A and B are shown apart, each in its own frame.
Chain A
């Protein structure tokens, strides 16, 4: 079955760049999206269709997807970016959705 793997945690200093990876078999052939989730809140879409930002999402959030890895990049990370991040992809061969394992981003 299709699986998406993320690093459990990423630490970043304020103002620096955080990169979160999401790995899956031939993920680059599918579209990936990314969610930010803060404690007690619903997940919020920050990137869809690999690199597109929904209205209201800051430009410091960007995405890419190639080969077996999708990447969410947070440039100029701020304290308010501290959250859990999940990738999501749709497996066209099975028409099923799969979430990544999740990454906790800590802004030190």
Chain B
């Protein structure tokens, strides 16, 4: 079955760029939409954005100016870059697969999640 694993630094300095990678195992990255979701300590999840195999993306508007999600099909990985981070970006970051309801729409549910990785923004 498909499994996801996040990797990347657990500590990032303010104003720097947070970079995380999600490795997909047990299935091809080419056949689905993939997403990043974060959850600040003690708060609910926040959707960051998604990417499709073709490279098409969509991001949460409040983060759009700082976020880039990309995919590397040769490595079966997709990545998140979040620039100019502040303490407000401290959170557990999850990668997730999107189970689409219809082939013609990105609407669906996130059915498979990684275990999450804690990223702290601090000097």
Interface residues of A (CB under 8 A from B): 1, 30-31, 33, 35, 42-45, 48-49, 54, 84, 86, 88, 90, 92, 95-102
Contacts and interface: CB of A to CB of B under 8 A. Distances in A.
A90 B106 contact: yes
Contact of B44 (A30, A44, A101): A101
A30 B58 CA distance: 18
Interface in B38-72: 44-47, 50, 58, 60-61
26 contacts: A1-B61, A30-B107, A31-B101, A42-B113, A42-B114, A42-B116, A43-B45, A43-B94, A45-B99, A45-B109, A45-B110, A48-B99, A48-B101, A48-B109, A49-B109, A54-B111, A86-B44, A88-B47, A88-B109, A88-B110, A90-B107, A92-B105, A95-B106, A97-B35, A97-B47, A97-B50
B44 A102 contact: yes
B13 to A, nearest CB: 26
B107 A99 contact: no
A33 B99 CA distance: 11
A13 to B, nearest CB: 26
A31 B116 contact: no
Given A48-B99, A90-B107, A96 B61 contact: yes
A99 B114 contact: no
A45 B47 contact: no
B84 interface: no
B108 interface: yes
B94 to A, nearest CB: 6
Contacts of B111: 45, 48, 54
A31 B115 CA distance: 25
